[in-house]
Amino acid sequence: MRIPLIFLGLILISCSPASKSDEQVPAETQPGTMENLTLASLAGDWYMVTQQENEWVLFYPCDADNTMVSVQADSIMIGWGQDATLGKIESWSASNGSISLVVNDSYSINTYKVEKTEDGLTQWWLWEDAEGPSYFISGKDKDAYPVIKQPCKECWEDCEEEDVN
């Protein structure tokens, strides 16, 4: 007696071990846990978030733009708020859940360190003299964060700011 291939396939599928609802998902795929970073995983836009009143927000100062980073293939653009730095990623290395980027911006060679945090944010060490990192979110997550725009009047006396209600 010949067993049709479709029937045999169904038997094999039904006999294969199924995941149980109470099984733990491996740590590397659980949301909010650290992940291994690669240059490819940094591709895209990153926006700096600031903590205000125990909440992470996209803060736009009245005299500049919010800091952002854009990584595309082997290039990086860092928008510092008023200026931007464009550079070529000369090399990168990953170890212990962090990645270091060696960037040539034609004026100097800089090394930037990037790490994921356990709460889903990404730490970028962009300034050599900084006491700590700046925190960034992926552009894919930008809409999930409140936007705070500093009032123009806090920077300029002759500001004619529109009232937004």
pLDDT single digits (tens) 94-116: 988 899 999 999 889 999 999 99
Q: How confident is the model at residue 11 (pLDDT cuts 50, 70, 90)?
A: very low
In-domain check, residue 165: no
In-domain check, residue 124: yes
Structure tokens at 114: 């990037």
pTM: 0.72
> In the prediction, which pLDDT does 54 show?
92
User: In the chain, how many domains are there?
Assistant: 1
Lowest mean pLDDT among 17-26, 47-56, 107-116: 17-26
Quote the CA–CA distance of 152 and 31 in Å, as a whole number.
Answer: 38
CATH code at position 91? 2.40.128
Residue 31 amino acid letter: P
Contacts of 97 (CB under 8 A, 6+ apart): 34, 35, 36, 37, 115, 116
Average pLDDT of the chain, as a whole number: 78
